[in-house]
Chain A
Amino acid sequence: MYQEVILDHYKHPHGRGLREGDAEVHHVNPTCGDEITLRVKYDGSTIADVSYEGQGCSISQASASVLNDLLVGKELADAQKVQEVFLELMQSKGKLEPDDAMEEVLEDAVAFAGVSKYPARVKCALLSWMAWKDATAQALGTDVAERKTA
């Protein structure tokens, strides 16, 4: 499960550190103590920044770094698509072999496919993504965030 890509993001996280944002959330994974504070900044419906600070295992921290890579600069609707595909992959219990289409959407995040085989670790991988979803709902209002999902 520890793909080289994951270890790279863990050792050299992208976009780490808290910067100015429209909303801030703090999420924890109570079973293991992974924590993340995450801020989102929107420029209209474009994600101007996702900044974060956290502590936890390599999976949770690398996942936040990948999230920053993937989502910053994207339109909300595109970002939500990425989030949904990542969620689908993580909930696949190791049964989903990422195809080219999925790889195109998820880029580095396909490296987490192996993590989905380990039920205890799925929450670690999803922590920052759930935090981002929550922060987005707070920044833009639940209506906007939910409608675009549908």
Chain B
Amino acid sequence: MTVAHQGLSGLLDTEAIRKDFPILDRTIHDGKKLVYLDNAATSQTPRQVLDVLNEYYEQHNANVHRGVHVLAEEATALYEGARDKVAAFINAPSRDEVIFTKNASESLNLVANMLGWADEPYRVDHETEIVITEMEHHSNIVPWQLLSQRTGAKLKWFGLTDDGRLDLSNIDEIITEKTKIVSFVLVSNILGTHNPVEAIIRRAQEVGALVCIDASQAAPHMVLDVQALQADFVAFTGHKMLGPTGIGVLWGRQELLEDLPPFLGGGEMIETVSMSSSTYAPAPHKFEAGTPPVSQAVGLGAAVDYLSAIGMDKIAAHEHAITEYAVKRLLEVPDLRIIGPTTAEDRGAAISFALGDIHPHDVGQVLDEEGIAVRVGHHCARPVCLRYGIPATTRASFYLYSTPGEIDALIDGLEHVRNFFG
């Protein structure tokens, strides 16, 4: 094991943090220590969140917003309290701008469907255009393809440069007077690229287009301030930020949420219902039909508390140091090619790479035998693989509990992979 990482600055006290994550103590494959480097897929859950989930089910479980009994009131207070926590976490001007969904995919589908059914001036139809980018996760491609197919709107996208960044050189031709919505990822889940928000938002505002940001890989890792971003919608998911699965968030500007039509209909989203028509509850409830993911929202609230107590700026600094170290070490591995930016500048803590012509599945399998969990495949971003002429990548992704020692273990593991297939 190397000690090349001595002297890294800005690191968190991972020894203390890791005590909160029982799963990180697991051993696998006959005593190999787990090295969990698949945080871009899902993060692990600290005891503090697990305790809140337990307490919710042991003490407070009820359906929300209806009963007048004690448990119903407590469950409602916890659920709505989670909304307050999330609103504060992203600096939302109003708690009513925070819609709970089941994941980021649902959040993005919700935006696409709001716009598909909207009246002017928001309506997406055959005379208008939708803009995305080539580095989107499938969850920010397919909903727009569906909307495009159903309305006749033209789907356009920004391409990528060879070093894994957005090619904005033709921004004035991509975003035009016909553009109704520009939807793009803040931090790419496959390339790690942190995209330049300002330039895109400025052009979108010039032409009066709405802007939707997929912040799934940003919210867990950095300060996310929706007011500073100046977007109209921001989507992210709970399970990548220490929360449970089954809970996502869509933040939207209040006046838009008031104007735009609901997508899913059902209980909870109505004001009054007769057999011929209904009127709707104000946002956010208008967009939360049916019994919501109550415990999951409460768990996300606890995750937000945990992250805030450490500090998102400190988490970002830790990950930057880890990423910088990882990029440096990976570039030392013979035949290894990073797919995405090869520096830690404007990049998140997910690094994709190709190792010679060894298939990522084989890389991942042999690393797993060494106890190292990475993601292999096209990461739900197949167009990126096509763009760079590769079938798939191996991806290592880090979080607040990742250590330089784990990077060293990855590098040693990759040496082993090379020898195995060499």
Contact = CB atoms under 8 A, between A and B. Distances in A.
B377 A56 contact: no
Interface in B382-405: 382, 385, 391-392
Q: Which of A31, A32, A124 has the most CB of B within 10 A?
A: A32
Contact of B360 (A7, A32, A118, A121): A32
B347 interface: no
Q: Which of B362, B378, B382, B421 has the most CB of A within 10 A?
A: B362
A31 B392 CA distance: 10
Nearest to A29: B361
A134 interface: no
Nearest to B366: A2
Given A2-B420, A33-B392, A34-B391, A57 B362 contact: yes
Contacts of A46: none
Nearest to A31: B377
B365 A32 contact: no
A33 B378 contact: yes
B102 interface: no
A33 B365 contact: no
The secondary-structure label for the interface of chain B is helix
A1 interface: yes
B421 A55 contact: no
Contacts of B360: 32, 57
B376 interface: yes
A92 interface: no
B359 interface: yes
Contacts of A89: none
A59 B391 CA distance: 15
A60 to B, nearest CB: 8
Interface residues of B, number: 15
Interface string A42-68: 000000000000011111000000000
B377 A58 contact: no
A59 B364 CA distance: 13
Interface in B323-339: none
A24 interface: no
Nearest to B368: A118
B365 to A, nearest CB: 7
Nearest to A120: B361
B391 A1 contact: no
A33 B362 contact: no
B420 A57 contact: no
12 contacts: A1-B365, A2-B362, A2-B365, A2-B420, A31-B377, A32-B361, A32-B377, A32-B392, A33-B378, A55-B391, A57-B361, A121-B361
Given A1-B365, A32-B377, 16 more contacts: A2-B365, A2-B420, A7-B421, A31-B377, A32-B360, A32-B391, A33-B377, A33-B382, A33-B391, A33-B392, A55-B391, A56-B361, A57-B359, A59-B362, A118-B365, A121-B365
Interface of A: 1-2, 7, 31-35, 55-59, 118, 121, 124
